[in-house]
Amino acid sequence: MKKLSPFHLAIPVNNLEKNRTFYKDILGCSEGRSSDHWVDFDFFGHQLVIHLDNDIKNIKSNPVDGKNVPIPHFGVILEWNVFQEFAEKLKKRKIEFIIEPYIRFQGLTGEQSTMFFKDPSGNALEFKSFKDSSQIFAK
C-alpha cells in the first residue's frame, strides 16, 4: 500500500461546545485552530473540522452483515491492537454504541473489527481494523 496523505473532513454539529468536549476529551483528539463557529482537530493524523450548523438532517441506514449501518458515516482504520484498546476505552467512558465492537465478515474476505457510535450532534462514526491490512480493499 502506498503512503496515504491525511484527509480533510468538515462536518456539521448542532452544539460546538458539546462536540468540542466529545472529540477532545472522549476520543482524545488534540484541538487546533478554532473560532466561534468551527474547531479543527487532529483526528488520528487527519484534519477534522466541526462546523456549527443547527439544521442537521436525519441519519438513515443500510443493512451490512445483519446490522443497520448508519449513513452517512466516517471514521478511521486503526491497527488491530489500537482498535481493541480504543474500544475498551470507549466502553469505560460509557459510549452508547449504535453497533457494539465486533468482528464483521468473520472467516470471510475482508474480515474486520468494527464499531459505530454518534457524536453529540448525531454524526455517525465507524472505527475499524483488519488483522491483515491487505484485506482493506479485498473483493
3-state SS, 22-61, equals HHHHHCCCEEEEECCCEEEEEECCEEEEEEECCCCCCCEE
Domain residue limits at 34: 8-52
pLDDT tens string 80-126:
999 999 999 999 999 999 999 999 999 988 899 999 999 999 999 99
Residues 6+ apart with CB under 8 A from 66: none
Give the neighbor-by-neighbor strand order of the sheet with 30-34: 8-13, 46-52, 38-43, 30-34
- In percent, how much of the chain has pLDDT > 70? 96
The reply to whether 64 and 38 lie within a common domain is no
Tell me, what CATH number does 76's domain have? 3.10.180.10
Q: Which residue in the block uniquely carries the three cell numbers 452508547?
A: 96
Residue 58 in this model has a pLDDT that exceeds 70: no
The reply to whether 66 and 31 lie within a common domain is no
Tell me, what CATH number does 19's domain have? 3.30.720.120
The reply to whether 65 and 38 lie within a common domain is no
Query: Which position has the higher pLDDT, 139 or 15?
Result: 15
What per-residue confidence (pLDDT) applies to 1?
52
The reply to whether 36 and 74 lie within a common domain is no
Residue 76 lies in a domain: yes
